[in-house]
Amino acid sequence: MESIKQWLAGSMCFCLLSIISFSGTAAAESPAVLAQSYILVEASTGRVILEKDADVLKYPASMTKMMTAVLALEKLQPETQISILDDAANTEDCPLGFSQGDVFTRDELVGGMLLVSDNGAAVALADRVDGSVPAFAKRMNERAAVLGMKHTHFENPNGLTVPTHYSTARDMMILARYAMENKTFRNMVARKTADVHWLSPAGKHLRAENTNALLESYPGAIGVKTGWTGESGGCLAAEAERDGTDLLVVLMASPTEGGRFTDARTLLDYGFSHVKTAEGPKADKTKHTIWVKDGTACRTEVKAVQDIRYPLIHGEDASHYSLTYDLPKVVSAKETQDGIVGHIIVNYDGQPVGRVDMKAEPIESGFSVTSWLVGTITSLLGW
C-alpha cells in the first residue's frame, strides 16, 4: 500500500511540474503588451493571429479619420475645392494651422489630415461631403454597418471623445483593411513626410510629418493611423509587409503615447516569426456575374479587391484552404458605385478564418428595359 501511495504522489508531482513547466513556456512565448485590447491579423484575409479583448468598447480617437478619409476619397473628385468654414477653423487641435476661408483640394486636405491628424480638416471634409457633421456621421455609421463593424458608433469625423463615439479593436481592423484597399489612401498613409499646399492663400504650404513613428523605425511599415486622447489612451492601426506577408495590428488604450508603438512592434515581430504566406487565386480568377436593378445595364462582374493569399500559421499547409462566395443575387446600380457588394470567405479545414471584399464594375444609375425587368422580378420573388 505504501508503495502505491508513493507512486501516486510521485505521479501527481510529475503532472504538476509538467503543467507548471508548460504554462511557463506558453507565458514566455506570449508577447508582453500593455495595451488593454488588440488584434493582430494577416491583412489580406483578416485571419486572426492573436487577439485580446478585441470586442471590448473603447474610444478610437483619431483612428476615426480612416473612415473620414476613405469616404471623402470616394465621394469627392481630386480637384474638388474645399473651403475651411468656421466650425472647422475653430475645432480643437488643428496642426495644419489653417484659418477660416482657406481653400484646399481634396487630396491636399485628406493627405494633410492623415499625416498630422488634424481634427479641423476632418470637420471641413464632413462639411464638404454632406453639409454638416451630423449628416456625415450618419454616412459613417451606414458604411460601418455595411462593413460589418458591429460594435461601432460614430458621432464625429475626427475621434474627439464623446460617450457615444466608440468602437473596438476588431471593428477598427475591419475599417483599416477597407481603407487600405483604396490606393490613394494607401499611398497617403505610407508617406513619412509631405508638403501640404493651399489653393488659397496661393503659394502657402506646410511640411507635414506623419504621426506614425513606425514608418521611420520599423522595417516594412506602410501605415496606417495613430490616435490619442486623454480618455482613449494610445491607439494605433499599423500595417507592415515583409517577404510577401502583410500583417495588420490594431491596439487600443495603450497607457502611453510611445507605448502604442512598442506594443505594435512586439505584436508585428511575433506575427512575422509565426506566419508565412502562400499564393492563392489571382483576383481575376474570382470573377462572378450578378444581376443589377435600377441601372443602365442589367448585369455586372464582381471580383476580389486583390489577389488571394493564404496565411500559414505555425507551419500550416496551404492545401487545407478553400474559398466560398457570399454574393447577393441582385444589387442596385448605386451599390455597384458605393463599394463592396460581397465577399469571398476564406476557409481552413472547412472553417471560415477570414474574408476578402469583392467589388463590382460600376453601373450607372438609370433605366434600361432589362434592368427594369430585374427589379420587377426581384420584387415579385422577394429578393
Question: What percent of the chain clears pLDDT 90, i.e. is strictly above it?
Answer: 87
Query: Mean pLDDT across the chain, nearest whole number?
Result: 92
Measure the CA–CA gap between 274 and 43, rounded to whole angstroms: 15
- pLDDT reading at 11 higher than 80: no
Cα Rg, the chain, nearest whole Å = 24
Q: What is the DSSP letter of 196?
A: E
- Of 37, 44, 62, 232, the catalytic one is 62
Question: What single-letter amino acid sits at 134?
Answer: P
Active site residue 192: no
Residue 71 has pLDDT above 70, yes or no: yes
Among candidate residues 58, 65, 303, 359, the one labeled active-site is 65
Helix (H, G, I), strand (E, B) or coil at 48: strand
In angstroms, the CA 333 to CA 361 distance is 10
Query: What is the distance of C-alpha 27 from the center of its chain?
Result: 29
Alpha carbon distances (Å) from 264 to 171, 234, 269, 274: 17, 11, 8, 15
- Annotated active-site residue 379? The verdict is no
Collapsed DSSP state (helix, strand, coil) of residue 290: strand
Annotated binding residue 225: yes
pLDDT digits (tens, 9 = 90+) for 150-168: 999 999 999 999 999 999 9
Residue 62 designated active-site:
yes
pTM here is 0.89
| Domains defined along the chain, listed by start | 37-277 (3.40.710.10), 283-381 (2.60.410.10)
Alpha-carbon distance of 344 to 332, in angstroms, equals 20
Q: What are the residue ranges of helices labelled H in the chain?
A: 2-29, 65-75, 86-89, 106-116, 119-130, 133-147, 169-180, 183-189, 214-217, 259-274, 333-338, 369-381
pLDDT digits (tens, 9 = 90+) for 18-45: 332 333 323 336 789 999 999 999 999 9
The predicted pLDDT at position 29 comes to 67
Of 117, 254, 332, 371, which residue is the catalytic one? 117
Query: Cα–Cα distances in Å, from 305 out to 74, 286, 360?
Result: 15, 10, 9
